[in-house]
Amino acid sequence: MNAQLKPQITIQRETYSTALIAEFEPLLKAHWLEIANYRDQVPYDPDFQKYCELDQTGMLFCLTARVDGQLVGYSVFYLTNSPHYKSTLFAINDVFYVDLAHRKGSIPMRLIRESERTARSLGVKRLLWHVKPCNQMSELLNRLGYAFEEQTMGRVL
């Protein structure tokens, strides 16, 4: 009898590298197509070298979500001290994405929780997420005890 194996889900911190960038590219493009504002005026154009530099200097951390080794999601944060609060380390979410086929399961929650654990282990005191009105990330974050603190508004010049 052939029993179906349960998929192996891993959430882990990874270093930005050429190999990881090659893996990220299809998901990043799908993410951009799904939620980017002003796609016709602000092109998809990630500065992967900058991400690598920030990671190497300890100013960024990257988590990946994988199912049976295949990349299905990521969570990336900048680490910084605000000029307003120089003694407080902030983790500011840059991108968070889980492939549509894996959003209904435990992966989004696990990726958020591991983001919190990683940030805490790095000495972060304030974890900030930016959420777009077009998705339901705010609903999930609300259930985890997060609250709206500010709103950001923008336009293309």
DSSP-assigned states of every residue in 34-66: HH-TTTTTS-----HHHHHHHHHTTSEEEEEEE
Cβ pair 56, 91 in contact under 8 A: no
Question: Residue 3 above 60 pLDDT?
Answer: no
Question: Residue 43 above 80 pLDDT?
Answer: yes
Cα separation, 152 vs 155, whole angstroms? 10
Cβ pair 48, 16 in contact under 8 A: yes
Question: Residue 1 above 70 pLDDT?
Answer: no
Q: Give the end-to-end CA distance of the chain in Å, rounded to a whole number.
A: 63
pLDDT at res. 111: 97
pLDDT at res. 152: 87
Alpha helix segments (H runs only) across the chain: 18-35, 48-56, 107-121, 137-143
pLDDT at res. 2: 53
Every domain of the chain and the residues it spans: 9-143
DSSP-derived secondary structure letter, 69: T
Q: What is the mean pLDDT of residues 32-51?
A: 94
Cβ pair 89, 124 in contact under 8 A: yes
Cβ pair 72, 65 in contact under 8 A: yes
Place of tokens 């930016």: 130
Cα separation, 60 vs 49, whole angstroms? 13
Tokens of 3: 């029993």
| Predicted structure pTM score | 0.91
* CATH number corresponding to 9-143: 3.40.630.30
